[in-house]
Amino acid sequence: GWASEGLGAGGKNRRVCHAAARLEMGSLWEEFNRLGTEMIVTKAGRRMFPTFQVKLSGLDPLADYVLLMDFPPPHRYAFHSSSWLAAGRADPAAPGRVHFHPDSPAKGAQWMRQIVSFDKLKLTNNLLDDNGHIILNSMHRYQPRFHVVFVDPRRDSERFAHQNFKSFSFPETQFMAVTAYQNHRITQLKIASNPFAKGFRDGEPEP
């Protein structure tokens, strides 16, 4: 039937099995990674810098896709039969939160047209956050994970959930969540490379 015909590499739906993602600003991420990247978490939520950005290829231009990220601690890579898919619909307890790219769902053609930037994503250490920010524990290391999910039009699509996504993680994007920078070289590199940290440079607090 349709299900077996529609499968490609690794038992994945042919609409995701060719998906490829290239990390943008890879050399900047590398530079941070060599120092041991730190990301600030605040009660109100803080954007990541560098911003997680990818260039996508290999999607079906006419199919719909949802893009999302999650932040499992690096020692826990197991996927529980794509439970984060279900988690996206409920209001899951931390740390299982996911961040949906706000343009989701969109056609493959739209996602591939330009760089996909997760610049709305914010990190918080507030366990009671109700703004949908990603909740992380300070002084824990995290490995961001990026997922491309084919929006399956079939009525019983839940049955195929495990076939309908492809996941990517880039080791150079892992970071330590902190409430204040521990390494002054990280602070310097953030100021030097972040166009939005100008206030920082002029001796004012970052917005």
Is the pTM of the predicted complex or chain greater than 0.75?
yes
Per residue in 113-159, pLDDT (tens digit) is 999 999 999 999 999 999 999 999 988 899 999 999 999 998 888 88
The CATH architecture to which 14-198 belongs is Sandwich (2.60)
Per residue in 62-101, pLDDT (tens digit) is 999 999 999 987 654 344 444 444 444 333 334 468 999 9
Q: Which two tokens stand for residue 36?
A: 């041991």
pLDDT in the model for residue 59: 98
* Cα separation of the two ends of the chain: 55
User: At what angle are helices 184-193 and 26-35 packed, to 10 degrees?
Assistant: 160
The whole-angstrom separation of Cα 68 and Cα 47 is: 16
pLDDT in the model for residue 6: 66
